[in-house]
Structure 1
């Protein structure tokens, strides 16, 4: 249905309907879209406003230089006296007026044509802006849905909150972990991570009964909730500083730790 709406708005049927140039079937189609889709109704109202502007712009006074040229032509016609062997019929005032009207009509038609071109260009811009706006709204709605889902996870009564505070090696470090043992999910929210040399990085580890498991890398750019692997029997989580490019090493420098043992 979205593709059908886009095709309709780009089909120029609204312009034809506005000036009464649509067939019976096209008229029914346009009126159906106007009544059903607010975007089409809004675009049609904009077209009507633009047509009023063009109509007012077309109702202009006749340029003075055109009238002066016509009067000078009339004076030249009256003053000219030529003796001819064959008498020619004098040009009637009606013919002169008709010629003047034709000139004015041509000038006005050209002006209206230019206005119509400008109006069509403006209408195309309006249609593009409508689609851009709809795209922005859809993107924002998607982000809101994603945020809503994350908040539901955080507000789940089964989720437990754990706060990492850095030791002397990283005093400004602060990160929060949310662990839900019922749904078996783990998330971490990076709040602040002190800057490290380019060759180093922060890693999060899970301590099990018999080993340490690397759960991934933490970065200052991850300033949002981040999913991490859930470890069923983890006794603690810790944040360590390791070297980029090297294999994960459980003996890396530890800068923060939380206990997951039930008190």
Structure 2
């Protein structure tokens, strides 16, 4: 039996598409025959066949407007939106360290970028009667680390709830909305963090990885997820093979969350 994902000719927007998980999603989708527009604050000078880049800061309303215009001008519309963008720049120190400014940074990065792009692009998906939206959340919305990720975790929780509500609204109109909730992914930034923790603790990089896994309460699989593994899951979920999947959340964390 063929397992063709039937994605050839589709058009996709991928945020944070030049590094880590976003870059892996771009490559996976383009490899499946999708024409991809990827966003980031800075973009490569050259791009693979079938991949376009637009430089924009989608944590701002202005940046989201730039991306929405580029989708229409370069792709002529969109069939798939994968909002990978996320992260945190909040300082350690728990709730008391989170000023209003820090809270707004977390919300603009992890929630409002998706909200604004959906608001701009979903009407065209509804008009064509088809489309898929993937919002990348995080296991931290149910497993927050209070020392440093309260704002990030709360913003991702808001993204998850928003996504569920959105799915109820637009799935009857032909647009599927699915959440993907990763645990620790071994991106370039994660490797750099492990190296920094290792240096501080006087150990090697593997020791740094163990420090991170211990902070998460352990990963039964014994390692973080690879960006390609997350990208493969997303590529399946946006395909017609997953045509009856909407409104749910898929955790990919190596068993980190201790309950079902």
TM category, shorter: under 0.3
The structure with more radius of gyration: 1
TM-score normalised by L of structure 2: 0.18
TM-score by length of 1: 0.18
